């Protein structure tokens, strides 16, 4: 498939950027969002559909980037009977292991080829078309999806049968949250010990203990720059998916329960719509 027609369902921070990059690569794009005002800014590059059924009719690829499994299942269910016979469902939200299994069963009901392909990266990589795609599904879908995945990502890993992508995404997010909380705690400890917390970032900068993410999130915490690249409420949702998967697998995670507690504390304090760096804020 050299020039597929793509329906993008869900136009939050990630979905809108992905739709724009797919259109920029020369593909015909239809967009839909439950809140129509989210779709209007894309009218210059895509066809804004008035309903989810209108968006998916005749589409070769249906890309979903919705908040969670429930929103994804409801949206796809609303389009039942409108999908093209050979359409591929490119499911890119983080929905967890059980969620991926249930959506896979729904895909079979709807007669769709199911590809589970969550992504690594937040707002800026999505805008730059530099996401890392963790794709999983049937081998014959790889070539069909290549133009779409090349438009949204810098790299695609095919990691096995549908659902394997979710497993790898949860492991990767566990690391992201570990780094996030580690930076927040080191900055807080530096502050509480009576020092300027900027000294911590300066001490590790450029050495073996440093990483771009350490400086990025650390400076955001200290500058109060909480415009959401990855909202706290979404991070808490994903932390719950990680812990559920770990419990089912028999993994003994020492750090993530504490990270989850701090994320929940920040959400309860009213910071759920801020970037997850806001976990640093005093509570």
Reported as a single tens digit per residue, the pLDDT across 239-252 is 999 999 999 999 99
Structural domain spans, the chain = 5-160, 166-280
**Catalytic residue at 169?**
yes
Catalytic residue among 123, 169, 217, 274: 169
CATH topology of domain 166-280: 1.10.1040
Whether the per-residue pLDDT at 49 is higher than 60: the answer is yes
Domain range 5-160, CATH architecture: 3-Layer(aba) Sandwich (3.40)
CA distance 89 to 98: 17
Reported as a single tens digit per residue, the pLDDT across 184-223 is 999 999 999 999 999 999 999 999 999 999 999 999 999 9
pTM above 0.75, yes or no: yes
């Amino acid at each position: 498939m050299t020039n597929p027609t793509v329906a993008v369902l869900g136009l939050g921070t990630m979905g809108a950027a992905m739709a724009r990059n797919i259109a920029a690569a020369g593909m015909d794009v239809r967009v839909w969002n439950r809140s129509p005002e989210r779709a209007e800014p894309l009218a210059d590059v895509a066809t804004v559909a008035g309903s989810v059924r209108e968006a998916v009719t005749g589409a070769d690829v249906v890309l979903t980037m919705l908040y969670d499994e429930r929103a994804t299942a409801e949206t796809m269910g609303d389009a039942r009977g409108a999908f093209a016979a050979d359409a591929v469902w490119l499911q890119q939200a983080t929905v967890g292991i059980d969620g991926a299994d249930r959506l896979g069963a729904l895909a079979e009901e709807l007669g769709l080829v199911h590809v589970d392909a969550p992504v690594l990266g937040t707002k800026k990589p999505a805008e730059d078309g530099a996401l890392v795609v963790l794709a999983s599904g049937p081998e014959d879908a790889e070539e069909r999806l290549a133009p779409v995945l090349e438009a949204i990502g810098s790299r695609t890993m095919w990691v096995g049968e549908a659902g394997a992508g979710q497993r790898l995404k949860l492991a990767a997010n566990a690391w992201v949250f570990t780094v996030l909380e580690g930076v927040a705690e080191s900055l807080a400890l530096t502050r509480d010990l009576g020092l300027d917390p900027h000294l911590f970032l300066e001490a590790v900068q450029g050495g073996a203990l440093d990483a771009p993410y350490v400086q990025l999130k650390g400076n955001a915490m200290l500058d109060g720059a909480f415009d959401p690249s990855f909202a706290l409420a979404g991070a808490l949702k994903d932390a719950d998916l990680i812990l559920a998967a770990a419990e089912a697998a028999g993994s003994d995670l020492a750090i993530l329960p504490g990270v989850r507690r701090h994320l929940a504390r920040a959400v309860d304090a009213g910071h759920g719509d801020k970037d997850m760096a806001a976990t640093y804020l005093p509570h």
